[in-house]
Amino acid sequence: MNLFNLFRHPKPLENLSPQDILEKWNESPKPVILDVRTQMEYQSGHIEGAKSFPWGQEKEVASQYSADTPLILICKTGHRSQAAANTLLKLGFKKLSHLEGGMDRWKKEGFPTE
């Protein structure tokens, strides 16, 4: 884990609002939503359909998904999702986006969690 990547926004990473995520969820191919928060954070409330892959498990993501799979990364504030994106880009992933402002923004704007 490279802590500097917490504050480095990779150019290919697309910033999404909560509304953008809902729209992308209806696209084909359907993106995979990866929640990179800790398991405890994930269990306290996450976006419906999101898969839990805590930050630092990017090689596990790479073993389960193709590099062409569209991925939406989610964390608490947007920093860990940026860091995970940096690593995933190095692993060959090309279709990466993240929730700008993270779950804090999602909840603040009143979007549902499960």
Q: Could you report the per-residue pLDDT of 85-95, keeping only the tens digit for each?
A: 999 999 999 99
The radius of gyration computed from the CA coordinates of the chain, to the nearest angstrom, equals: 13
5-21: pLDDT as tens digits: 545 666 889 999 999 99
pLDDT at position 102 is 97
Q: Which of 89, 85, 108 is nearest to 97 (CA)?
A: 85
Give the separation between CA 97 and CA 81, rounded to whole angstroms.
9
Q: How far is CA 76 from CA 22, 33, 44, 87, in A?
A: 18, 14, 11, 18
100, two tokens:
């700008």
Q: Kind of pairing, strands 32-35 and 14-16? A: unpaired
* Per-residue burial over 85-102, b = 16 or more CB atoms within 10 Å of its CB, e = otherwise: bbbbbeeebebbbbbbbb
Please tell me the pTM assigned to this model. Answer: 0.90
